[in-house]
Structure 1
């Protein structure tokens, strides 16, 4: 377990919100794209942002707060 400060917790929560917005945005773009390469790029970026989101959430759940 990691000890983090309240400020670090707030930063992690803000980053999680940002990643959530990125996921939603790339999913929207992939649905709207007509170009297959651009659609594939947006889907890939959405998956990468989801992985980052999950990694942050997993680290957050195993942390102790100071």
Structure 2
């Protein structure tokens, strides 16, 4: 993927390359942060479900 992006950046005028690289870095960081947050929420939900199952098992 990085190689493909570099090929695209090479086609840009030199004055735009750094700006576009920076924009892509910011975009990638934001996507990674969003995925991490979603994963945290998913694991928290799984943990709550597991705790509910454990409480249910204690009753029986």
Q: Tell me the TM-score normalized by structure 2.
A: 0.52
Segments of structure 2 that go 5 or more residues without pairing to the other structure are 47-60
Q: Which has the higher strand share?
A: 1
Kindly report structure 1 stretches of 4+ aligned residues shifted beyond 6 Å: none
- Report the Cα distance in structure 2 between the residues aligned to 1:29 and 1:53, rounded to whole angstroms: 20
| Bigger relative contact order, structure 1 or 2 (CA pairs below 8 A, ≥6 apart) | 1
- Report the Cα distance in structure 2 between the residues aligned to 1:31 and 1:56, rounded to whole angstroms: 29
Compute the displacement of 1:29 (Å).
Answer: 4.4
**Which entry has the higher C-alpha Rg, 1 or 2?**
2
Contact 1:29 1:39 in 2 (8 A): no
Q: Which has the higher helix share?
A: 2
The within-5 A match list for 1:20-39 is 27=5, 29-33=8-12, 35-39=13-17
Q: Tell me the TM-score normalized by structure 1.
A: 0.48
Q: CA RMSD in A?
A: 2.2
